[in-house]
Amino acid sequence: MAAISSDTSQKPRISYHEFYTDGFTPREHYRPLWEHIQSVGQNAFEAKVHESQLALHAEGVTFTVYGDSDEGIERIWPFDLIPRIIPASEWSIIESGLKQRVRALNLFLKDIYHDQRILKDGVVPAELIYQGKDFRREIMGIDPPHDIYTHISGIDIIRDEDGKYLVLEDNLRTPSGVSYMIENRVIERRILPEFFAKYRVRRVEHYPALLLEALRAVSPRGTGQAEIVVLTPGIYNSAYFEHTFLAKEMGVELAEGRDLVAKDDVVYLKTTTGLQRVDVIYRRVDDDFLDPLVFRSDSTLGVAGIINAWRAGNIAIVNAPGNGIADDKAVYPYVPDIIRYYLAEAPILHNVPTYQMTNPEERAYVLDNLERMVVKAVSESGGYGMLMGPASTPALRKEFAAKVQEDPRNYIAQPVIQLSRHICYMDGELEARHLDLRPYIIYGDDINVVPGGLTRVALTKGSLVVNSSQGGGSKDTWVLAE
Amino acid sequence: MRYFIEHETVLEYPEAVREHHVELRLTPREDSYQRLLGITLETEPTAGLRGYRDYYGNQVTCFDIIQPHRRLVTRMRAEVENTLANPFDFQPLSPGDEQERLREALRTTPALYDYILSRSPATPNLGRLDQGFAFPCHEPGRPVLESVQQAMEWITTVLRYKAGVTTVHSTLAQALTAAAGVCQDFAHLLIAIVRSWKIPARYVMGYLASREEGAEEAPPATHAWTEVFIPGRGWTGFDATQQILANDLFIPVAVGRDYLDAAPQRGSFKGDAAGDNPVIRLSISQQ
Q: Which residues contact A141 (CB under 8 A, 6 or more apart)?
A: A113, A114, B53, B55
End position of a domain, from candidates A398, A416, A434: A416
For A141: left if phi > 0, alpha if psi spans -120 to 50, otherwise beta; the answer is left
Residue A21's pLDDT is 92
Pairing of strands A280-283, A274-277: unpaired
Supply the CATH number for residue A373's domain: 3.30.1490.270
Q: B136: closest CA among B194, B94, B176, B177?
A: B194
Considering the domain architecture, whether residues A446 and A395 belong to the same structural domain is answered as no
Residue A353's pLDDT is 93
Whether A126 sits inside 8 A of B110 (CB atoms) is yes
Is the pLDDT score of B155 beyond 90? yes
CA distances from A285 to A239, A423, B270 (A): 11, 36, 19
- Provide, as residue numbers in chain B, all residues whose Cβ is less than 8 Å from the Cβ of A119: 110
Residue B215's pLDDT is 55
In a domain, A370, yes or no: yes
Considering the domain architecture, whether residues A49 and A145 belong to the same structural domain is answered as yes
Whether B110 sits inside 8 A of A261 (CB atoms) is no
ipTM here = 0.94
In a domain, A311, yes or no: yes
Q: Which amino acid is at B185?
A: D
* Spans of all domains in chain B: 2-82+264-286, 95-256
In a domain, A36, yes or no: yes
Considering the domain architecture, whether residues A421 and A456 belong to the same structural domain is answered as yes
In a domain, A14, yes or no: no
Q: How many domains does chain A have?
A: 2
Residue A177: half-sphere exposure toward Cβ, Cα within 13 Å = 30
Whether B110 sits inside 8 A of A120 (CB atoms) is yes
Q: Which residues contact B77 (CB under 8 A, 6 or more apart)?
A: B4, B5, B6, B7, B39, B40
Residue B251's pLDDT is 97
Q: Which amino acid is at A32?
A: P
Is CATH 3.20.20.70 what the domain over B95-256 is classified as, yes or no? no
In a domain, A92, yes or no: yes
- Mean pLDDT computed over every residue of chain B: 93
Q: Provide the H-helix boundaries in A223-321.
A: 240-250, 287-290, 306-311
Q: Which amino acid is at B134?
A: A
Whether B66 sits inside 8 A of A120 (CB atoms) is no
DSSP assignments along B27-56, one per residue? S----SSEEEEEEEEEEES----EEEE-TT
End position of a domain, from candidates A371, A388, A416: A416
Considering the domain architecture, whether residues A48 and A68 belong to the same structural domain is answered as yes
Q: A338: closest CA among A152, A118, A170, A150?
A: A118
First-to-final CA distance of chain B: 8
Whether A137 sits inside 8 A of B266 (CB atoms) is no
pLDDT tier at B29, thresholds 50, 70, 90: very high
Considering the domain architecture, whether residues A373 and A459 belong to the same structural domain is answered as no
Considering the domain architecture, whether residues A185 and A218 belong to the same structural domain is answered as yes
- Provide, as residue numbers in chain A, all residues whose Cβ is less than 8 Å from the Cβ of B53: 141
Is the pLDDT score of B220 beyond 70? no
In a domain, A138, yes or no: yes
Beta-carbon neighbour count of residue A76 at 10 Å?
Answer: 13
Considering the domain architecture, whether residues A253 and A394 belong to the same structural domain is answered as no
The DSSP 8-state label assigned to residue A301 in this structure reads S
Residue A8's pLDDT is 47
Whether B114 sits inside 8 A of A126 (CB atoms) is no
Rg of chain A over Cα atoms, rounded to whole angstroms, equals 22
> Is A296 buried (19+), middle (13-18) or exposed (0-12) by CB count in 10 A?
middle
Q: Which residues of chain A register pLDDT less than 70?
A: 1-12, 64-73, 382-383, 468-471
- The whole-angstrom separation of Cα A239 and Cα B174 is 41
B interface test, pick of A143, A258, A263 with most B CB neighbours within 10 Å: A263
Is the pLDDT score of B218 beyond 60? no
In a domain, A7, yes or no: no
B61-73 pLDDT, tens digit each: 999 999 999 999 9
Do residues B181 and B164 touch, judged by C-beta distance below 8 A? Answer: no
Do residues B237 and B87 touch, judged by C-beta distance below 8 A? Answer: yes
Considering the domain architecture, whether residues A318 and A406 belong to the same structural domain is answered as no
Q: How many CB pairs under 8 A join A and B?
A: 62
B66 touches chain A (CB under 8 A): yes
B69-90 pLDDT, tens digit each: 999 999 999 999 999 999 988 8
Residue A42's pLDDT is 79
Nearest CA distance, B229 vs chain A (angstrom): 17
Considering the domain architecture, whether residues A374 and A318 belong to the same structural domain is answered as no
End position of a domain, from candidates A366, A385, A416: A416
- Which range of residues forms the domain containing residue A69? 28-352+417-479
CA distances from A408 to A3, A220, A362, A405, B168 (A): 18, 41, 11, 6, 31
Q: Provide the H-helix boundaries in chain B.
A: 95-108, 114-117, 144-158, 172-178, 183-196
Considering the domain architecture, whether residues A255 and A376 belong to the same structural domain is answered as no
B interface test, pick of A113, A119, A130 with most B CB neighbours within 10 Å: A130
Residue A429's pLDDT is 84
Q: A322: closest CA among A158, A202, A149?
A: A149
Better pLDDT: B281 or A6:
B281
Pick the CATH number of B2-82+264-286 from 1.10.3720.10, 1.20.200.10, 1.10.287.610, 2.60.40.2250: 2.60.40.2250
CA distances from B254 to A185, B6, B221, B261 (A): 55, 16, 14, 8
A interface test, pick of B18, B19, B21 with most A CB neighbours within 10 Å: B21
Considering the domain architecture, whether residues A231 and A365 belong to the same structural domain is answered as no
For B147: left if phi > 0, alpha if psi spans -120 to 50, otherwise beta; the answer is alpha
Q: Which residues contact A405 (CB under 8 A, 6 or more apart)?
A: A363, A367
